[in-house]
Amino acid sequence: MAVTDEAITKIKDMIISGELAAGDRLPPEKELSEKLGLSRSSLREAVKALEIIRVLDVRRGDGTYVTSLEPKLLTEAMTFIVDLHQDETILEIFEVRRMLEPAAAATAARLITAEQIATLRATMDNIDEQTSVESLVEHDLVFHGLITAAANNSYLESVLDSLSSSTVRARIWRGLTQEKAVDRTLSEHAAIIEALERGDIELTRALVTVHISGVEHWLRQAL
């Protein structure tokens, strides 16, 4: 179990057991991390995940509270978790991405300009381990879109943009729950840029295939 998954489970257990009730404020971060035997960074990621599904309410400058936990409040926010765990169409979308994106990237390796390479590198600026998951996924969307655009096929670009947009929620959840997802994404992006810059068609194709397959593999395990 990833460290963040463990943190999410421990906080949920506190709520289920009644140790934390609806409306209760969570103990300070330092105190709670020590009590649960977790690092503060793992605890923060767990809180983010539980905030997304409306179990916790983070009030800036005030603290973190358990929500009312009313079914009406939770239902809408839980839909994307249901999507991940019950609707296998998301897997089919990743399969299509895995077929099409490496081909688009291979074409881009032949056609990409120095200016487009510079633009790709610029997307990596200010992205590091401290970057929020939401910002990382936004970077990922832009990164893949630029590569597809460099393949110079507007129809393919439109299809892949639609497919990529449909997987945003899965990628955010992966970033929140899979250990070292941020580091892995950044290192894989850097390697893809280098392969594109060298015009290495087959290496670019292979790297993009592995990059997309990583999320698909995680999702298959989650289902």
pLDDT at residue 76, as a whole number: 47
What three-state secondary structure class fits 55?
A: coil
Residues 169, 52 contacting (CB under 8 angstroms): no
Q: Quick check: 163 pLDDT over 70?
A: yes
pLDDT average, residue stretch 131-158: 88
Answer positive or negative: Cα dihedral of 112, 117, 123, 129. positive
Q: Quick check: 161 pLDDT over 60?
A: yes
pLDDT average, residue stretch 2-7: 65
pLDDT at residue 39, as a whole number: 85
Residues 109, 150 contacting (CB under 8 angstroms): no
**Contacts with 184 (C-beta within 8 Å, 6 or more apart), sequence order:** 214
Residue ranges and CATH numbers for the domains of the chain are 3-77 (1.10.10.10), 87-222 (1.20.120.530)
Q: Record the tokens describing residue 95, joined without a space.
A: 């399969």
Residue 143 pLDDT grade (very low, low, confident, very high; cuts 50, 70, 90) = very high
Q: pLDDT digits over 76-102, tens only?
A: 444 444 444 445 677 788 888 999 999
Name the percent of the chain lying above pLDDT 70.
80
Residue 24 DSSP one-character state: P
Q: Record the tokens describing residue 140, joined without a space.
A: 């990922």
Answer positive or negative: Cα dihedral of 143, 146, 151, 157. positive
Residue 6 pLDDT grade (very low, low, confident, very high; cuts 50, 70, 90) = confident
Residue 174 pLDDT grade (very low, low, confident, very high; cuts 50, 70, 90) = low
What is the C-alpha separation between 198 and 177, in angstroms, rounded?
A: 34
pLDDT at residue 222, as a whole number: 58
What is the C-alpha separation between 58 and 29, in angstroms, rounded?
A: 12
pLDDT at residue 204, as a whole number: 97
What is the C-alpha separation between 182 and 187, in angstroms, rounded?
A: 9
| Between 203 and 14, residue with greater pLDDT | 203
Helices (H), the chain: 3-17, 29-36, 40-52, 71-86, 89-111, 114-122, 133-150, 154-165, 168-177, 181-198, 201-222
Rama region for 90: left / alpha / beta (φ>0; ψ in -120 to 50; rest): alpha
Q: What is the average pLDDT value for the chain, to the nearest integer?
A: 81
| Between 13 and 152, residue with greater pLDDT | 152
Around Cβ 8, how many Cβ atoms within 10 Å? Answer: 24
| Between 46 and 109, residue with greater pLDDT | 109
